[in-house]
């Protein structure tokens, strides 16, 4: 499993139409998830054309794609803006994740091969390099989030349910967005690294019930932390 590639700002995207729009959508999604384009921020077509060095057609295609995914809102005559965040959306994301991911993990444990196990060990090893507190400063958060997403998807990779994997992939982006907004204000108040180790151990030991329970609680506890910060005004919820 490869991490999504991102073209650096100011450099042109690939020249073919479909790849052009896809690359723009990836860059914009990454900007939104990371908080570089905050909730509610206006997305000026002219400014985006200059930022990405692209014409109108692939840019509109990319924005339409992100609107369908829920990361961008099209306000008709007012144009596009970054989708807001809210406690209702956070709760929906967490509920879907805590339902679908443990289910997919159970299926992966039932069907997973040695190669699947190797993928979990490898992605977890990569993630542990960024689990240390000092790595959460500056650019380290970007790497941690990328490896965190890769690790969670590796756990589910053997579930034999491509539609479920597609939805879980999208939910990972949404949960990362809330997590990044939370981490901009305060660090997590628990040992996330230990939770990941416990999840790996239970999964590789093929303890289906325990692994699903750990994963569900891992997702729900993160959501509770972020929700408390959101309710206390510690996370900006622009509309």
pLDDT in tens, 149-182: 999 999 999 999 999 999 999 999 999 999 888 8
End-to-end CA distance of the chain: 35
What is the C-alpha to C-alpha distance for residues 79 and 189, in angstroms, rounded to an integer?
39
The per-residue pLDDT for 71 is: 96
The per-residue pLDDT for 231 is: 81
Residues 6+ apart with CB under 8 A from 133: 187
The per-residue pLDDT for 190 is: 65
Helices (H), the chain: 17-34, 45-52, 56-69, 87-111, 114-128, 140-156, 162-183, 192-204, 208-231
- What top-level class would CATH report for the domain 87-231? mainly alpha
Beta strand ranges found along the chain (DSSP E): 42-43, 72-74, 80-82
Q: Is 224 helix (H, G, I), strand (E, B) or coil?
A: helix
pLDDT in tens, 99-141: 999 999 999 999 999 999 999 999 999 999 887 654 455 557 8
The per-residue pLDDT for 89 is: 94
Q: Exposed, middle or buried: residue 68 (CB in 10 Å: 0-12, 13-18, 19+)?
A: exposed
What is the C-alpha to C-alpha distance for residues 188 and 196, in angstroms, rounded to an integer?
14
Query: What ranges do the domains of the chain cover?
Result: 17-82, 87-231
The per-residue pLDDT for 230 is: 82
Residues 6+ apart with CB under 8 A from 55: 49
The answer to whether residues 107 and 158 touch, using CB atoms and an 8 Å cutoff, is yes
pLDDT of residue 145 exceeding 80: yes
The per-residue pLDDT for 221 is: 93
DSSP string, 101-114: HHHHHHHHHHH--H
pLDDT in tens, 5-42: 333 333 444 444 568 899 999 999 999 999 999 999 99
Q: Does domain 17-82 have CATH number 3.40.630.10?
A: no
């Amino acid at each position: 499993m490869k991490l999504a590639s991102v073209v650096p700002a100011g450099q042109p995207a690939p020249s073919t139409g479909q790849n052009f729009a896809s690359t723009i959508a990836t860059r914009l999604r990454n900007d939104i998830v990371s908080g570089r384009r905050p909730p509610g921020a206006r997305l000026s077509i002219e400014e985006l054309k200059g930022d990405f060095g692209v014409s109108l057609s692939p840019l509109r295609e990319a924005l339409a794609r992100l609107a369908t995914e829920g990361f961008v809102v099209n306000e008709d005559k007012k144009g596009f803006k970054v989708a807001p965040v809210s406690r209702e959306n956070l709760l929906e994301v967490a509920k879907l994740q805590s339902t679908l991911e443990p289910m997919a993990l159970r299926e992966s444990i039932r069907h997973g091969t040695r190669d699947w196990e190797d993928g979990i060990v490898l992605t977890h090893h990569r993630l542990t390099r960024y689990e240390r507190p000092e790595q959460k400063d500056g650019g380290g958060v970007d790497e941690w989030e990328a490896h965190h997403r890769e690790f969670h998807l590796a756990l589910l990779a053997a579930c034999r349910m491509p539609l479920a994997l597609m939805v879980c992939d999208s939910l990972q982006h949404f949960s990362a967005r809330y997590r990044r907004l939370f981490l901009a204000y305060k660090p997590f108040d628990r040992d996330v690294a230990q939770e990941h180790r416990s999840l790996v151990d239970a999964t590789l030991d093929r303890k289906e019930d325990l692994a699903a329970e750990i994963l569900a609680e891992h997702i729900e506890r993160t959501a509770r932390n972020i929700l408390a910060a959101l309710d206390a005004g510690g996370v900006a919820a622009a509309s």
